[in-house]
Amino acid sequence: MLSSISRASAMSTSRNTLNAAAATRLSSIQRHLSTTPSAREGKIERLTVFGAGLMGAGIAQVGAQSGLKVVLSDVTDKALENGLNIIQKSLARVAKKKSPDDIEGFTSKILKNIETTTDAGKAVEQSDLVIEAIIESIKVKRDLFGFLDSKAKSDCIFATNTSSLSVTEIAESCSKERQEKFAGLHFFNPVPAMKLVEIIRTSQTSTSTYEALKEVTLRMNKSPVTCNDTPGFIVNRLLVPYLLESIRMVERGDATPEDIDTAMELGAGYPMGPFKLLDFVGLDTTSYISQGWRDKAEAGQISKELVQPIELLDKLVKEGKLGRKSGEGFYKVSHMIE
């Protein structure tokens, strides 16, 4: 009897020991899995956006609407105040459709997910993802990311919203380790309304970084597409040459802006003809992009014929006729879309 009790006791002790060992191993595996890059990067919860203009404010808004905790950062309090005003007006429009009986409550709930600061270092301390939406200058962008590299967590993902600059060149301002966590994340204006986001992969962008960015854009209710780091990515690579050739047609006297717009809207089914779009985007912006592409053309990355200078475009920019932002471009403001 005692012998049976002893054997039972020994077996019980042995099972307890095995169970404890198994639990220890499981706990160790779970800790390991929870700290692997793919697991960490797959759960972006805190977003920092630099630049409180239309684009940056829009990105901050869709991030907050998706449940992310957002920090919006710019160089002045006035810029941040303007950014918050943009977001409030946009949210009010959204609320009219989604929560018409409680517009103020809907807006207030989303705004609670957004805080602001002019302290760039503080802005990224707890961030899982940093998106830059500042001036389209490679030097300014490189300076910003170079500074942030030592301030952000080692597993924080960096993304630039550039529409025309080399993501690789911007990423090279950071450490080799950070370059694996660096990509392009190109939203389209107005961000709350436009579904498309281009995810730009450099040769250094890790798979886990790409997957994390794809997951967070889907949470933002966007439709992500993927492209390598090539001039203009997908949309602008096709769109900019089309816009430039449209201007050349007018310069040669082939057709008027009005007739070209009508032809592309009714014949090709485009929602907006090239000249209406040029005025909406800004002639100075188009000129700036084409100038930057000429450097790429000299390096053999794009055809030189696509980005040859256009006297008519240069003339309008010099005269301050930039499109909608100045009141006149190819059209006067009274003829532009609202």
Q: What is the pLDDT of residue 267?
A: 98
Q: According to the annotation, is 97 in a ligand binding site? A: yes
The domain limits of the chain are 41-228, 237-333
Q: What is the pLDDT of residues 29-84, one digit of tens each?
A: 443 443 444 334 458 999 999 999 999 999 999 999 999 999 999 999 999 999 99
Rounded mean pLDDT, 100-106: 90
Q: Which CATH number fits domain 237-333: 3.30.1490.20, 3.40.50.150, 1.10.1040.10, 3.40.50.800?
A: 1.10.1040.10
Q: According to the annotation, is 54 in a ligand binding site? A: yes
Give me the percent of the chain exceeding a pLDDT of 70.
86
Least confident of 160-169, 291-300, 323-332: 291-300
Q: What is the pLDDT of residue 268?
A: 97
Rounded mean pLDDT, 318-333: 94
Q: Give the whole-angstrom CA distance, residue 285 versus residue 322.
A: 9
pTM: 0.81
pLDDT at residue 280 greater than cutoff 70 = yes
Domain 41-228, CATH: 3.40.50.720
What is the overall mean pLDDT for the chain?
Answer: 89
Q: What is the pLDDT of residue 336?
A: 54
Are 234 and 198 in contact by the 8 Å Cβ rule? The answer is yes
Q: What is the pLDDT of residue 225?
A: 98
Q: What is the pLDDT of residue 43?
A: 85
pLDDT at residue 168 greater than cutoff 80 = yes
- Residue 335: pLDDT band (50, 70, 90) is low
Q: According to the annotation, is 51 in a ligand binding site? A: yes
Q: According to the annotation, is 163 in a ligand binding site? A: yes
Q: What is the pLDDT of residues 207-224, one digit of tens each?
A: 999 999 999 999 999 999
Q: What is the DSSP string of 223-258?
A: EEEEEES-TTTTHHHHHHHHHHHHHHHHHHTS--HH
Query: Which is more confidently placed, 247 or 29?
Result: 247
Task: Please list, in sequence order, all residues whose beta carbon lies within 8 angstroms of the beta carbon of residue 200, skipping any fewer than 6 positions away.
Answer: 167, 183, 184, 185, 186, 226, 227, 228, 229, 233
Q: Cα angle at 257 between 251 and 259, to 5 degrees?
A: 120
pLDDT at residue 9 greater than cutoff 50 = no
The DSSP call for residue 306 is: G
Q: According to the annotation, is 327 in a ligand binding site? A: no
Q: What is the pLDDT of residue 122?
A: 98
Task: Please list, in sequence order, all residues whose beta carbon lies within 8 angstroms of the beta carbon of residue 297, skipping any fewer than 6 positions away.
Answer: 303, 304, 306, 307
Task: Please list, in sequence order, all residues whose beta carbon lies within 8 angstroms of the beta carbon of residue 22, skipping any fewer than 6 positions away.
Answer: none
Rounded mean pLDDT, 265-292: 94
At 104 the three-state DSSP class reads helix
Q: What is the pLDDT of residue 32?
A: 40
Distances (CA, A) of 237 to 25, 294, 306: 52, 13, 10
Highest mean pLDDT out of 7-11, 32-36, 93-97, 331-335 = 93-97
Q: Which pair of tokens denotes residue 96?
A: 């009219």
Q: According to the annotation, is 194 in a ligand binding site? A: no
Q: According to the annotation, is 206 in a ligand binding site? A: no
Q: What is the pLDDT of residue 39?
A: 38
Are 68 and 113 in contact by the 8 Å Cβ rule? The answer is yes
Residue 192 preceded by cis peptide, ω within 30:
no
Rounded mean pLDDT, 129-153: 96
Least confident of 15-29, 106-120, 204-218, 273-287: 15-29
pLDDT at residue 90 greater than cutoff 80 = yes
Rounded mean pLDDT, 280-297: 90
Please identify every residue annotated as catalytic. Answer: 163, 186, 198, 236
Q: According to the annotation, is 323 in a ligand binding site? A: no
Q: What is the pLDDT of residue 218?
A: 98
Q: What is the pLDDT of residue 2?
A: 32
Q: What is the pLDDT of residue 301?
A: 87
Amino acid identity for residue 9 in this structure? S
Least confident of 1-5, 7-11, 203-207: 1-5
